[in-house]
Each structure stands twice: as C-alpha cells, then as structure tokens.
C-alpha cells in the first residue's frame, strides 16, 4: 500500500506540474539518518514528516539542481492541530536546508488526473523495466507515427523498437513515471482512446 501511495503521489505531482523534471525519493531514509545523527536521540515528535524529496533539474542553480520537499496530507486532516504542527515543522525544516517546500492534498488532484495516475500505476506495478528501454519507447511514441488509439500507437512503436508488444503498456507506463513522456492530465487514459501528451508552452 505504501509503495502504491508513493507512486501515485509521484505521478500526480508530475501530472500537475508536467514541465518540472526531477527525481523523487521517499524521505524515510533521511528521517532515519536524523535519528542516528549524534549520540542524542531526537524525539519522533520533533522529526520532519516530509514524504518526498524532489531533486529538480534546473539551470539557475550553480550545480543545475534544486530541491523541493513534498508533504502529502489528506485535506480533511488539515484542521487537526497535530497535522498543522507537522506541516509547519516540515516547512521550517525545508527552509533550514535551503529547499523549497510544497504541501500536496487530494484537492490538488482532480478525478481525471487521479484516473490517469491509477491507470499508469496498474500498468507499471508488476514489471521492472530498464530506464533505457522506457526512454527508447518514449522517443518513438513522441516522434513516430501515431494511431487513432493508444493501443495502436504502442503496437506500432513496439514493432519499430523491438519491444515485446505484450508488455509495451508497462514500458509506456514506466516512461511516464520516469518523466520521458508528459501526459495531458485533463484527458482520460485508455488503450481504446487517443494518446494526449502535454503540450509545451
């Protein structure tokens, strides 16, 4: 369940902000490092609850990288004092690190975006696809000839790249998760419908 939530949040963020290229990492390991830092154990209530650290690929930083902490909370819990304390602690922690910070709730993800995210996860979850294969398919999908529906587009791309047509939907989903393909989150995703990629501004 935690892995599905992680992928869903990651993809939802990519769909909401399609032009942000970055690498998502769960922050559980960072919290454990803070627990081990020094001889004094830090009380759990003082630890940040940031869910993801996004490494952003930017040109305006000295090393080309920027960082953003993401806190994922259900909107209904934001009235809780405990949740408010967690959110404030997360924001302050990220500011101390020199990172930007963003609170993401279920209100940020509309029904169509959620459907797209869930469909991609269903297609990708049982497969371990090499990033280079996903990138190859993404290039063919973007630059090759399209079909009236996604199934036809993927079948054609699979034939041209030598990818197994039976699993091409999983390769496609992996390409989306890696950010090689940016989907239009206002259009439903289905093998029987045309593929809608996000347009560049």
pLDDT (tens place) for every residue of the chain, 201 residues total: 445 455 555 555 555 555 445 455 555 545 444 444 454 566 667 778 888 777 776 555 556 678 888 888 888 889 999 999 999 999 998 998 888 999 988 787 778 888 888 888 889 878 888 889 999 999 999 998 888 999 999 999 999 999 999 999 999 999 988 889 989 888 999 999 999 998 764
pLDDT at 199: 75
pLDDT at 29: 46
Residue 135 lies in a domain: yes
Nearest to 13 by CA among 112, 104, 115: 104
pLDDT at 4: 47
pTM of the model: 0.59
> Are 14 and 88 contained in the same domain?
yes
> Are 104 and 118 contained in the same domain?
no
> Are 50 and 128 contained in the same domain?
no
Residue 187 lies in a domain: no
Contact 83, 73 (CB under 8 A): yes
Total domains present in the chain: 2
State how far the Cα of 85 lies from the Cα of 80, in Å rounded to an integer: 9
Residue 185 lies in a domain: no
Residue 171 lies in a domain: yes
Residue 137 lies in a domain: yes
Residue 136 lies in a domain: yes
> Are 132 and 157 contained in the same domain?
yes
Contact 125, 92 (CB under 8 A): no
Contact 134, 142 (CB under 8 A): no
pLDDT at 137: 96
pLDDT at 49: 81
In which domain, by residue range, is 142 found? 111-177
């Amino acid at each position: 369940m935690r892995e599905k939530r992680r992928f869903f949040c990651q993809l939802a963020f990519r769909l909401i902000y399609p032009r942000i290229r970055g690498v998502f990492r769960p922050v559980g390991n960072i919290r454990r490092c803070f627990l081990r830092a020094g001889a004094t154990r830090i009380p759990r209530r003082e630890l940040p609850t940031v869910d993801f650290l996004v490494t952003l690929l930017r040109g305006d930083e000295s090393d080309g990288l920027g960082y953003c902490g993401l806190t994922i909370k259900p909107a209904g819990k934001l009235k809780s004092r405990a949740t408010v304390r967690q959110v404030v602690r997360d924001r302050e922690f990220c500011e101390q690190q020199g990172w930007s910070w963003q609170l993401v709730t279920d209100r940020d993800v509309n029904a169509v975006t959620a459907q797209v995210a869930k469909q991609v996860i269903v297609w990708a979850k049982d497969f371990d696809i090499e990033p280079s294969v996903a990138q190859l398919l993404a290039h063919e999908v973007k630059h090759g000839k399209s079909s009236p529906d996604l199934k036809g587009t993927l079948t054609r791309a699979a034939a041209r790249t030598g990818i197994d047509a039976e699993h091409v939907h999983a390769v496609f989903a992996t390409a989306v998760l890696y950010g090689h393909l940016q989907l239009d989150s206002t259009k439903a995703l289905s093998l029987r419908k045309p593929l809608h990629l996000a347009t560049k501004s």
